[in-house]
Amino acid sequence: QPTTASDNYHLISDTPGQWVDHTAKYGFQDITYKLSPEDGTARIAINRPEVHNAFRPITVNELRKAMDLAQDDPTVGAIILTGEGTYAFCSGGDQAVRGEGGYDDGSEPVPRLRVLDLHVQMRRCPKPIIAAVAGYAIGGGHILHMVADLTIAADNAVFGQTGPRVGSFDAGYGSSHMARIVGQKKAREIWFLSRFYSAQEALDMGLVNKVVPLAQLEGETMKWCRRIMENSPTAISCLKAALNADEDGQAGSMQLAGNATRLFYLSEEGKEGRDAFLAKRPARFRAVPTSK
Ligand code: S0N
Whether residue 292 is predicted with pLDDT greater than 70 in this model: the reply is no
Q: Which amino acid residue places its CA nearest to atom 21 of ligand 1?
A: 51
Average pLDDT over every residue of 141-155: 98
Atom of ligand 1 nearest to the CA of 88: 1
Atom of ligand 1 nearest to the CA of 113: 63
Average pLDDT over every residue of 262-271: 94
Residue 101 CB-density burial (10 A; 0-12 exposed, 13-18 middle, 19+ buried): exposed
Tens of pLDDT, residues 271-280: 999 999 999 9
Atom of ligand 1 nearest to the CA of 165: 44
| Residue of 91, 138, 146 with the most ligand 1 atoms within 8 Å of its CB, for mutation | 91
Residue 282 CB-density burial (10 A; 0-12 exposed, 13-18 middle, 19+ buried): exposed
Average pLDDT over every residue of 114-130: 97
Confidence of residue 188 (pLDDT cuts 50, 70, 90): very high
Atom of ligand 1 nearest to the CA of 166: 44
Distance CA 159, CA 196 (A): 6
Q: Name the phi and psi angles at 36, rounded to 5.
A: -115, 90
- Model pTM? 0.96
CB under 8 Å to 288, separation ≥6 — which residues?
Answer: 268, 269, 271, 272
Q: Determine the distance separating the centroid of ligand 1 and the alpha carbon of 175, expressed in angstroms.
A: 19
Q: Which amino acid residue places its CA nearest to atom 30 of ligand 1?
A: 51
CB 165 within 8 A of CB 194: yes
ipTM, two decimals: 0.96
Residue 72 is which amino acid?
A: D
Average pLDDT over every residue of 239-260: 93
Q: What is the pLDDT of residue 101?
A: 86
Whether residue 291 is predicted with pLDDT greater than 60 in this model: the reply is no
* Beta carbon of 256 within 6 Å of any ligand 1 atom: no
Whether residue 84 is predicted with pLDDT greater than 90 in this model: the reply is yes
Q: Determine the distance separating the centroid of ligand 1 and the alpha carbon of 94, expressed in angstroms.
A: 6
